[in-house]
Amino acid sequence: MSVQKPSLPKGTRDFGPVQMARRNYILNTIKETFSLFGFQQIETPAMENLSTLTGKYGDEGDQLLFKILNSGDFLKNVEPSDLEKGTSAMLPKVSEKGLRYDLTVPFARYVVMNRNDITFPFKRYQIQPVWRADRPQRGRYREFYQCDADVVGTDSLVCELEILLMIKRVFSKLGITDYSIKINNRKILTGLSEVIGEKGREGELCVAIDKLDKIGWEKVQEELNQRGFGERSIELLSPIITLKADNHKKLDFLKGFLSSSETGLKGLQEIQEVIQLLETFGETQDHVDFDVVLARGLTYYTGAIFEVKVHNVSIGSVSGGGRYDNLTGVFGLEGVSGVGFSFGVDRIYDVMEELGLFPEQHADQTKVLITYFDKSGFDYGLRILNRLRQAGIASELYPDEAKIKKQFTYADKKQIPYVLILGDNEIKEKNVSLKNLISGEQEVLSVEEMISRVC
């Protein structure tokens, strides 16, 4: 029988102890911030009905859904004619479920199904993996974690303010200092499409503009041409693309540019109010960048949109979100406004690794290893182990009778700072020899003295 070489699906990863400790360092910082701001944690299943997921992320998003084959004989309902009709005829008959693409749509479903038990406004956070059938590359995975915080049941722009504040707090705690929180409003993009004479085409405009960072203005113009946008429309859009100024000057410029669009001016007013709330709160506009061409491709945003980029690293955006007034309406609950955003933990991890921002003591670490020479040392060691753990000290007893050198090598490799050596004298006197592997010092202490020393 041939031995199978183990492998992982492309775009997925294992996380060892060091990576998990670093991930938990990020996650705990985010969780602590979410809790501080009054958000409560929920979880939803990894799989959802495809009917829940499809049609919520635009055509491109639908293509990236991982579908799950029905259990059992999944071909039993398929007719030969279905094969000729192609995927659209086949899919509903072989697959009813899919892996979740994000946490926002499952959250909307959760709100609708639990609306009688929820206190509105409902502030929830959710930290779970999501799956996308994307082409894997650096910073882009097929399985990755999202950390979402959403508020539903209020139109208040205080929610948008709190998103800015949470991002600032998390990045400050993680030591990330060179970044921008780009903010815009979908109503402004609707206004732009009206002003350039392409009313009702803001969706197509957003899809094209969303690629500006990746392909540049020239290529975006080509795409707009291909989509049927007129030369005059593209020409009118040009000053917006090249607009460089501080937040207040951009607002002033757009008041004139969007003067003929009521919707555009409403979006502008909302941006202005969020910036004013930031100042009233006592926080600066540092890192906050009103980006008129920020578009974000997802179709369900209706108000504010956010995207966070760390500068001078090879990773793209590390966080994003926005306001979605109509999302729960798809599931039969009208008039519930929501706003939320997501931290991309995997990307933040890559950024912090690239910038060398992780603290040195990052592994979940044993503090004390108990070593011994024989069975009586092992028995005495078990009693000491009990005392150490009762004192809340992470500790281990070496499991096998082995040469003391081998036990010390184990401590070295696991970077355990303290070793207890239990010989005949220590057992007889009911004390311990404590060796500090960092300084090399060794001393004989009572069990109580040893516990207070290593605490």
Extract the annotated binding site for L-histidine.
102-104, 132, 146, 150, 296, 300-301
State how far the Cα of 427 lies from the Cα of 440, in Å rounded to an integer. Answer: 22
Q: How far from 105 is each of 108, 132, 150, 295, 411, CA to CA, in Å?
A: 5, 14, 11, 19, 47
Read off the tokens for 63: 């293509």
Q: Is 363 helix (H, G, I), strand (E, B) or coil?
A: coil
| Rounded Cα distance, 112 and 383, in Å | 54
Q: With beta carbons less than 8 A apart as the criterion, state whether 240 and 292 touch.
A: yes
CB within 8 A of 357, min separation 6: which ones? Answer: 174, 175, 176, 351
Residues belonging to the binding site are 102-104, 132, 146, 150, 296, 300-301
Residues 6+ apart with CB under 8 A from 237: 192, 196, 224
Secondary structure element (H or E) that encloses residue 150, with its range: strand 143-152
What one-character-per-residue DSSP string does 47-73 give?
EEEHHHHTTSSHHHHHHTPPEEPPSS-
Helix (H) or strand (E) holding 447, with range, is helix 447-454
Burial of 110 (0-12, 13-18, 19+ CB in 10 A): buried
